[in-house]
Amino acid sequence: MITIQEAKTKSELTQFVKFPFSLYKNNKNWVPPLIGEEVEGFDKTKNPAFETAEAYFYVAKRNNEIVGRIVAIINWSEVKDQQKMKVRFGWFDVIDDIEVTKALLEKVHELGRKNNLEYVEGPMGFSNLDKVGVLTEGFDTIGTMITWYNHPYYATHFEQLGYVKEKEYIESKFPFSNVKPEFFEKANDLVKRRYQLSPLNFKTTKEVMPHVDKMFDLFNKSYASLSSFVAISDTQKEYFKKKYISFINPEFIKFVEDKDHNIVAFSIVMPSFSEAIQKAKGKLFPFGFLHLLRAKKQSKDVIFYLIGVLPEYQNKAVTAIIFKEYYETFKEKGILNCFRTPELADNAASINLWKHFDPQIHKRRCTYRKEL
């Protein structure tokens, strides 16, 4: 018999977070979360996402053992401001038993019907900076700290329960050796002269911090036209600033300024922490922090996390400036491989940015939808 229980206390949420550790035990491609960080992210008094979102955490049990989990989410900014009558679900993990999946998703359906919503979509997080999509291709390659990994049967369960693919995302990679300066050097010089632009580089995290709010403002403007985009609030800016910026090498954050020192473009690249987090086994202490610190300094793989350009500067080759700066930084640090985080498969403008580097798609993922 399957029973569904809501996780409310810190202890219950910790068990919620720990469930995938048993589900993916000995799976060399699964990258665990940092347990403490994830539990804190589910704390409604600490994560500002809950200012505009409500969420309920459920575990499925059989014989008193957890066999599945799910978060049912309503992002009220999305519902009220965009009129998207959607209930979300995320942090979905389950054994290969479709009845467990059905029971968990029914809790999401109940929340949607209770609030007169029209459809359900997932997996996705509280906001656009959370993880998204169920993996459909690429199960044989290691994941990242900013994506979900899952077993192949997840998508099969959704489809058998009447869900259909809603949005598809692709992840690509290319060796740094594919990056040739001639792809962007001429455009770099031309764009800087024509629009009076200049790159802004950093050597310390302290130098980055005064610019982070402006970066998030630019993020809101540059991504506003994408499907299901929900702007980041001021309190979320502070939260993400404290939580993530220290993880990123300051040399891997690049800005482009106009002559008045207004930021017109930015990019964030992260060192790959995947193997370090696997070694940490979900814990920063006593030794996990050292694994992450070592990866931050020594990793030869990098992940292009975010790139944004003001709408009025899009289609003006401003990214040539960013690529030129990264080329010099990566060459100096001996970077070997570059990876792209999930991007919408129909976002032609973004995909076109990377064409000269001959990127190879190595993962696909999607969200699934069902009418209520």
Do 269 and 312 lie in a common domain? yes
Q: Span 241-269, mean pLDDT?
A: 91
Q: Span 293-297, mean pLDDT?
A: 93
Q: Considering the domain boundaries, does residue 261 fall inside one?
A: yes
Do 273 and 338 lie in a common domain? yes
Structural domain harbouring 120? 2-171
- If phi > 0 it is left, if psi is from -120 to 50 it is alpha, else beta; for residue 150 that is beta
Residue 165 scores a pLDDT above 90: yes
Residue 225 scores a pLDDT above 80: no
Q: Considering the domain boundaries, does residue 368 fall inside one?
A: no
Q: Considering the domain boundaries, does residue 65 fall inside one?
A: yes
At 13 the pLDDT is 98
Do 161 and 188 lie in a common domain? no
Do 120 and 246 lie in a common domain? no
Q: What is the dihedral of CA 43, 45, 51, 52, to 10 degrees?
A: 20
Collect all residues with Cβ–Cβ distance below 8 Å to 153 and sequence separation of at least 6: 96
Q: Span 342-347, mean pLDDT?
A: 91
- If phi > 0 it is left, if psi is from -120 to 50 it is alpha, else beta; for residue 309 that is beta
Do 157 and 137 lie in a common domain? yes
pLDDT in tens, 74-127: 999 999 988 999 999 999 999 999 999 999 999 999 999 999 999 999 999 998
Do 180 and 218 lie in a common domain? yes
Residue 163 scores a pLDDT above 70: yes
293: CATH: 3.40.630.30
At 89 the pLDDT is 98
Residue with more model confidence, 233 or 339: 339
The percent helix, strand, coil of the chain (3-state, each to 5) is 40, 25, 30
Domain's final residue, options 171, 186, 219? 171
What is the pLDDT of the chain when averaged over all its residues? 94
Q: Considering the domain boundaries, does residue 367 fall inside one?
A: no
Do 112 and 227 lie in a common domain? no
Do 160 and 12 lie in a common domain? yes
Residue 321 scores a pLDDT above 90: yes
Do 255 and 147 lie in a common domain? no
pLDDT in tens, 170-187: 999 999 999 999 989 999
Specify the 3-state DSSP secondary structure of 317: coil
pTM value is 0.93
Do 348 and 202 lie in a common domain? yes
